[in-house]
Structure 1
Amino acid sequence: MNPIVCCRDLQIRQEVHKLGVLILLWRRQLGMTQYQLADKSGLAQSYISDLESGAIDLDGLRFIESSMDLGS
């Protein structure tokens, strides 16, 4: 296995985990459940759960686009 690819995969997993933690903290700060966030963002609750747990790859970043209007 190519060590560069392996290292890159690890970095991506770490960044996805960080993003998930930030989403979780942000949602809790807003006092929202995963179901409420799902309703407002148009995403499935299971998708939000996957994001928060880091179980989704960076292609899942469409969440960011759909959630940009939640603060307004």
Structure 2
Amino acid sequence: MRATICTDSANSIMIYIIDVGVSRFYCKSKMYGHLKEIIMFTKRPELCADFLTLIVKLYVNDNYMQRWINRWN
């Protein structure tokens, strides 16, 4: 089992990655205190890393991405 914590450049989003074969992405906004979970059904960590990069870049500034993430709740 592997866990990683990342933040975006504004330090407003914390992303927890827990890899147990199926990768789970937990995105938490410090501003609102909510926790989002995105599950990637893949055993290829490099794909998860690419997806994480996308989340970090778009989560804060892109309302469309925010709505897309909300669909996973």
> Do the two structures share a fold, i.e. TM-score over 0.5?
no
Q: If the length of structure 2 is used for normalisation, what is the TM-score? A: 0.31
Compare relative contact order (CA 8 Å, sep 6+) and give the higher one, 1 or 2.
1
Pick the structure with more helix per residue: 1
Query: Between Structure 1 and Structure 2, which shows a larger proportion of strand residues?
Result: 2
Give the TM-score normalised by the residue count of structure 1. Answer: 0.31
